[in-house]
Amino acid sequence: MTIPTLKQSSGSAHTRFLGFGASRGDLSVPNDDLVEPINSSDEWIQQRTGIISRTRASEGVLAVDMATDAAREAIQASGVDPVDFDLVVIATISNVQQSPSMAAVVADRVGANPAAAYDINAACAGYTYAVAQADALIRSGTAHYALVIGAEKLSDVVDPTDRSISFLLGDGAGAAVVGPSDTPGISPTVWGSDGSRADAVGMNSTLIDFREGRSEWPTLRQEGQTVFRWAVWEMAKVARQAIEDAGIAPSDLAAFVPHQANMRIIDEFAKQLGLPDSVVIARDIESTGNTSAASIPLATHRLLQGHPELSGGFALQIGFGAGLVFGAQIIVLP
């Protein structure tokens, strides 16, 4: 008896980014609007975080709505027909309706049915995780064109009286189209987690606690100094590894797009990496705030709008957050 050989899929040798889209919350919330409940000041928030204002979405606007708007812009920028998408991945921690997935709804809204669609929860590193998956699935032949989105409405999961993280957070969605390429456009991903310090940033209770009346609505909290030290020292090592694995040097970078967690972290990060002055650093946090999984694509979108000359250059993107999870890649900007 002849045993047939099992077929396996194979795809493009390389992948690249084809377009970006963005949708920020429709409200601009200055520091002065938030300081009274936390007994703080505009000066203190700016000094500690670099944030002047943050975008938040109106009550009737959901994360899935912002994800849809960002996706439509990215698709238009890419020139890919929506029917050609066979993968939609959304990174989010703030989908208030756990099922159906946000990705399935967005896939339908943009005309990408019957694409595979799912949400992932890797907090502020979620977008880099989604990029890693899209890259691998396209190169394996499991997918051909992917829509990768980070979408958050963090104003739904903050306590306005909390001094640890609430004033940092904003709402928005950033989207990117990833597709096949004749030349390399996405480097190997350096990713991982440190669950031993999971309590450093995350939700302060469970939905079961809330349902049973043992807690208020679960909201985000963080140990600021713990997160700061981890982000600056440990993530610098991850960033260096990503640069090395990509086969380039820091001087080859055109842009640095870290998770927009805190301006002090971003500046210290760049210092630790020894980035030359020629590298453009994304500082979208100043007017958008920390949007978790949405922060990197939102910052990239704004960077490309303000610096079109960066097109074709290398950008280091790194996400890090609750978990403690992290992911980093070098990409070629579209």
Active site positions, annotated: 124, 259, 290
Return the bridge partners of 318, or none: 258, 328
Residues in CB range of 216: below 8 A, 6 or more apart: 159, 205, 210
Between the alpha carbon of residue 171 and those of residues 1, 124, 154, 166, 266, the distances in Å are 61, 13, 6, 12, 20
| Pair of tokens at residue 6 | 């099992």
